Chains A and B, each alone.
Chain A
Amino acid sequence: MKEQTRENVMLTPDHIAALDGRLLRRDEISLDEDLLQHLLSENLMKAIPALKKDFLSVKCMRCGNTDARFFARLSCARCRKNHLYCRNCIEMGRMMECELLYYWEGSPYVWPRHENPCSWEGELTSAQEKAAQRIVEAIENREKEILIWAVCGAGKTEMLFPAMTKALEEGMRVCLATPRADVVRELKPRLEDAFQDVPIQALYGGSDEKEYHAQLVIATTHQLLRYRKAFDVMIIDEVDAFPFHADPSLPFAQNRAEKPQCTTIFLTATPRKNLKRRVHNGRLPHVFVPVRYHGHPLPVPTLHMCTSLAKDLQALKLPSIFIHWLKKRKRQERQLLIFVPTIKLAERLKTPLRKILKDNDVIKNSEALDAVHASDPGREAKVTAFREKKLQVLITTTILERGVTFPSVDVVVLDAGHDVFDEAALVQIAGRAGRNANDPTGEVVFFHDGKTEAMLEAIYSIKQMNKRGGF
């Protein structure tokens, strides 16, 4: 009893909120050493070795990595020994053999129940409403998982509001995880608008919100590595997207971040084979939302063959058929989003495209066109400039294939036959067009030098989705 009082004196509820549900390195815990040791001796906190070594294998206990090529050795100046460390999750702070990971084992933090937390005043379409009710039901019944298969531009975020409302009313902790930092940044203001009185936290590499105790968390999937048994509702946005489907440490982190009775909601417009199979076998409950929120069908891509494409791009020229299309575009005032397969090409096409577009009166000055890619420091600013129509044309790699909304664009893919454009990528790219009710169509054109399976499957599945939507 006495010890209990001591704990209460030294630990505020804020401390517990910051510790409960987390898996942290020593330097991520703001408690002084005496207090931490005391909590450990009282079994209120637990410590585990950062790397678990077995007879032949090693496992990083933070990211679950067991792949030998992601471990290396370091001669440690602290212990004067040669240690293993994990290179897979080193961006989140290096985990070494001689270090520990800590988690809270005391009684869990009780998150508040919110009354009418949702301040969003928009209305859902009937298709959205149906899906939204199904998700609420899943949370009420504590179902394990559910897939929301909604076409690009169906209004997925709004569909989640009733479910989030329900969860917050029940005092649940909710995480919305998405693969890209851009999307986290875009979602944060939208959720803050919709849930004005609920503290919301946005986490991504380089975000400045390192005080981790909000009930509603928006995070990149990598940030889940710092959680353990934290969430009652886990929403995985774009579950098919790289890197969630390619990096085994991310599903590992997702599983660990969930409480045992967590409801997992997968969102996607383009489920991959494994999910489709599970849906087909009846092992994964799902809802299909086949219409966009404005009720218009998805634009179907058109294909344009250009035989000399590879040669032209090599010489930094643009295929004549592209220029031809440019001149005959139906609505010249639409912005233009041009997808290219590589960063190099995005950078190098800037100058020739500026000239061509200026000659054809698509842009008035060179500043109206820019290129953006993953390692571009000006990426955020350029995307914002494009959204605000300060840029007329944007050349991009696949980083803008999903999660971003521009009201009125035509979409071009140059070299659509390249490996980076798989079926899912092409469907997503096509989904960038016609997202606004005021301009619900938009042209999507693939320039290629030979049809690929991916292109045909993408077109087929877009047509299928339109068919299921009743078009």
Chain B
Amino acid sequence: MHCLWCFSEMDNQFSWSDVFLLKKLTGLCDDCINGLEFLRGNRCEKCSRESETTVCKDCKWWKEALSNDPLVFNHSVFRYNPFLQEVISKWKYRGDFVLGEIFRPYMQQAYQDILFKMKKDVIAVPIPLSEKRLMERAFNQAEMLARFLPVKTECLLERTEGEKQAKKTREDRINTKNPFLAVKIIKKPVLLVDDIYTTGTTLRHAASSLAASGCPEVYALTLIRG
């Protein structure tokens, strides 16, 4: 076996400690695993960001801006450190599909961690790419993450406009009009899945489209809190 990221040879002798410590099989070598940083300590209960207060400044702002926030909560796993930025950019932008496998055990663990906060029969819905972008990349990274979860994944959203989020300022992002459309009536609670939570605008747009189509509650699971 070779490390998915640095290709160095891995000594992957399976031992009892793997069973007892539930060591995660990520496909990374130990050095690379150490490059991943979990979000730790006190977190904002709304958006998962590391925060001293129970609800962070941004989420207070959201609360004031929206009378009825369509998103119940977001849960994220990692900090967006330079190592993860490199991994994500190779995975998403270079299109190195298999790197997504690194996140499988972490997504599954995260799902277990938030299970108690959600209603029953939740379905996973990935944030979609525009048709053009999907054809360029040949895969949707959010859908890949959603399919790791032990629940049904349905692509219930469509994107009516392009994405180019990375180049926008915070103000621009928050003020854009909702680019998502739900493809049918939804009666089950939905867990939205995406790779990065930056301002929360994307997820809230998606959540409000789902809510407008009858979805009772919307939660979000993102890999990274940017």
Task: State whether B98 touches A94 (Cβ < 8 A).
Answer: no
**B2 in contact with A77 (CB, 8 Å):** no
| Interchain CB contact under 8 A, B98 and A72 | yes
| Nearest residue, chain B, Cβ from A377 | B82
Interface: A74 (CB within 8 A): yes
Known contacts: A69-B2, A69-B7, A90-B90. The answer to whether A77 contacts B95 by CB under 8 A is: no
Report Cα–Cα, A73/B97, bound state, in Å.
Answer: 7
B183 at the binding interface (Cβ < 8 Å): no
Q: Is A78's beta carbon under 8 Å from chain B?
A: yes
CA distance A467 to B10 in the complex (A): 46
Q: Is the CB of A78 within 8 A of B135?
A: yes
Chain B contacts for A75, CB-based, 8 A: 97, 139
Q: Which residues of B contact A74 (CB under 8 A)?
A: 95, 97-98, 138-139
Within 8 A of A (CB), among B104-149: 134-135, 137-140
Smallest CB separation, B9 vs chain A (Å): 10
Are B140 and A94 in contact (CB-based, < 8 A)? no
Contact assessment for A87 and B98 in the assembled complex, using a CB-CB cutoff below 8 Å: yes
Residue from B90, B94, B98, B139 in contact with A77 in the complex, judged by beta carbons closer than 8 Å: B139
How many chain A residues touch the partner (CB < 8 A)?
15
Are A94 and B135 CB-contacts (below 8 A) given A69-B2, A69-B7?
Answer: no
B126 CB → nearest A CB, Å? 12
Whether A399 sits at the interface, judged by CB under 8 Å, is: no
CA distance A430 to B135 in the complex (A): 52
Q: Is B163 an interface residue (CB 8 A)?
A: no
Chain A residue contacts of B90, Cβ below 8 A: 90
Chain B residues, CB < 8 A from A323 = none
Say yes or no for B96: interface residue by CB 8 A criterion: yes
> Once bound together, how far apart are the Cα atoms of A94 and B138, in whole Å?
10
Chain A positions within 8 Å of B140 at CB level? 77
| Shortest distance between the CB of A441 and any CB in chain B (Å) | 41
Chain B residue nearest to A85 in the complex (CB): B97
**Bound state CA distance, A72 and B96, in angstroms?**
8
The distance in angstroms between the C-alpha atoms of A279 and B29, with both chains bound, is: 42
Q: Does A54 contact B (CB under 8 A)?
A: no
A72 lies within 8 A of B97 (CB): yes
A270 → B minimal CB distance (Å): 26
Q: Which single member of A73, A78, A96 contacts B98 (CB below 8 Å)?
A: A73
A76 part of interface (Cβ distance < 8 Å)? yes
Contacts of B96 in A (CB 8 A): 72, 87, 90, 94
Closest approach, in angstroms, between the C-beta of B151 and any C-beta of chain A? 19
Q: List 13 A-B contacts (CB under 8 A).
A: A69-B7, A74-B95, A74-B97, A75-B97, A76-B138, A76-B139, A77-B134, A77-B137, A77-B138, A77-B139, A87-B96, A90-B96, A96-B138
Which residues in B have some Cβ–Cβ distance to A below 8 Å? 2, 7, 90, 94-98, 134-135, 137-140
